[in-house]
Structures are given as structure tokens and as C-alpha cells.
Amino acid sequence: MLCEVKESSLQALKTARGQLDGIVKMVEEERYCVDISKQILSAQSLLKKANMEILKGHVKTCVRDAVDKGEGDDKIEEIFNLIDRYARP
């Protein structure tokens, strides 16, 4: 994995982890539901960002290496399967 991808994805994941801890506390304290929901949406956004960074690194390293070796079809199919999962409602 590329170093810059690793750092940016780790930062997003660590921030999301902090948000999740905060959300748990909000629920325990019976805070206003809309405020909790906003924090959940924010954490989801950070997780999506981290996932995209991980996938970019995967394409730039693993997929590129596999294509260069003439073995890219399986890696490309993996990416299409992930896209299909994202595209579902």
C-alpha cells in the first residue's frame, strides 16, 4: 500500500473511531436523536473516505502489478464486485 494512502486512510479511521466513541456516549446519555443521527452520518462519511483511499492504493499497487504480469482479470473482477455492492440501495 502506498505510504500516503496508508496515512490518510488511518487518519480517517482513527477520527471515525473517536466519533463512534462519542456517539456511544451520546446514546448512553440519551442525547437528542437528531444530533446522534448527524454524528452517525459523519462517521459513515469518514469510513467511506477511508475505504476509497484503501481502494485507490489497491488499484495503484496490487491491481497495477497484476495487470503488468498479465494476471489482472481477477483483480479487476474484485473491484467490479465491490462497486456492485456499493451501487445497491
- 22 band by pLDDT with thresholds 50, 70 and 90: very high
In terms of Cβ atoms closer than 10 Å to its own Cβ (0-12, 13-18, 19+), residue 11 is middle
CATH assignment at residue 28: 1.20.58.1000
Number of domains the chain is built from:
1
Asked if residue 3 has pLDDT above 80, the reply is no
Cell digits of residue 66: 497484476
Domain that residue 12 falls in: 3-87
Q: What pLDDT was estimated at residue 2? A: 67
pTM more than 0.85: no
Whole-angstrom distance, CA of residue 75 vs CA of residue 71: 8
CA torsion angle for 2, 55, 52, 57 (degrees, to 10)? 10
